[in-house]
């Protein structure tokens, strides 16, 4: 991805940024957590040029963050899904969401612990249970009182409360 650009930084941060530090990459990973799996759905939701999306998806597959597999329902199509390494990026996404929500722009979504319904704090912990739920145990819903926002079918489908990683139905 960023190639050898940060090569002489002996630092895990530089290694991480070589993988997820490019433009668009973390937004693609965010959508994957929200349940997006198909090329066109990523494209509709992100307004990203197809050539760049194609390049980023291939890079994420190379880096073992997404897995590309045939869509069992549609021959010739593919699904992109987070691998365990990719799912392990949730704390990164969550930290950026929390910072952005505190200092730039109130977060348009909120996150609850699926098993008890309590809202998670900024660190991603459930104050009720004292645990930090894995993404599959987190329900996301749209915060009320916001404008209608985007009208593309993917955005509309994502407005329904659902668990992270749960495949989006369109």
Give the binding range for a copy of itself (CB under 8 A) out of 50-58, 68-76, 98-106, 111-119: 98-106
Number of residues that bind DNA (CB under 7 A): 24
Q: State the helix-helix crossing angle for 25-34 and 50-62, rounded to 10 degrees.
A: 80
Tell me: does residue 78 bind DNA (CB under 7 A): yes
What is the length of the chain? 170
Q: State how far the Cα of 142 lies from the Cα of 6, in Å rounded to an integer.
A: 37
Q: In what order do the strands lie in the sheet with 138-142?
A: 109-113, 138-142, 162-163
11 binding a copy of itself? (CB under 8 A): yes
Residue closer to DNA by CB (options 35, 124) is 35
At residue 120's C-alpha, the angle toward residues 114 and 124, to 5°, is 105
Specify the 3-state DSSP secondary structure of 155.
Answer: helix
Q: Which of a copy of itself, DNA, none does 3 bind, CB closer than 5 to 8 A by kind? A: DNA
Please, which residue, 30 or 38, has the CB nearer to DNA?
38
Considering CB distances under 5 to 8 angstroms, the limit depending on partner class, which of a copy of itself, DNA, none binds residue 157? none
Q: Is 134 in the site for a copy of itself (CB under 8 A)?
A: no
Residue selected from 10, 72, 75, 169 as contacting DNA according to rule CB under 7 A: 75
**CA distances (Å), 55 to each of 72, 135, 140, 144, in order?**
24, 26, 29, 35
Residue 99 CA: distances (Å) to CA of 8, 16, 92: 29, 19, 11
Q: Does 150 bind DNA (CB under 7 A)?
A: no
Quick check: 49 binds a copy of itself (CB under 8 A)?
A: no
How many C-alpha atoms does 28 have within 13 Å on its Cβ side? 32
Site for DNA in 40-69 (CB under 7 A): 40-41, 47-52, 54-55, 57
Interface with a copy of itself by CB under 8 A: which residues?
2, 5-6, 8-17, 19-21, 23, 26-27, 30, 46-47, 85, 88-89, 91-109, 122-123, 132, 146-147, 149-150
């Amino acid at each position: 991805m960023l190639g050898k650009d940060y090569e002489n930084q002996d630092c895990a941060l530089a290694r991480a940024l070589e993988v997820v530090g490019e433009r668009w990459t973390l937004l693609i990973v965010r959508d994957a957590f929200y349940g997006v799996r198909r090329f066109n759905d990523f494209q509709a939701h992100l307004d990203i040029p197809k050539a760049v999306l194609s390049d980023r998806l291939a890079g994420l597959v190379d880096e073992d963050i997404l897995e590309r597999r045939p869509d069992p329902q549609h021959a010739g199509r593919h699904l992109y899904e987070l691998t365990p390494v990719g799912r392990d990026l949730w704390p990164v996404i969550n930290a950026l969401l929390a910072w952005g929500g505190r200092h730039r722009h109130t977060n348009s979504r909120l996150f609850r612990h699926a098993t008890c319904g309590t809202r998670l704090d900024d660190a991603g912990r459930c104050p009720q249970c004292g645990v930090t739920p894995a993404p599959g145990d987190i329900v996301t819903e749209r915060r009320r009182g916001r404008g209608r926002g985007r009208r593309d079918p993917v955005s509309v489908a994502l407005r329904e409360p659902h668990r992270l990683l749960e495949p989006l139905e369109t």
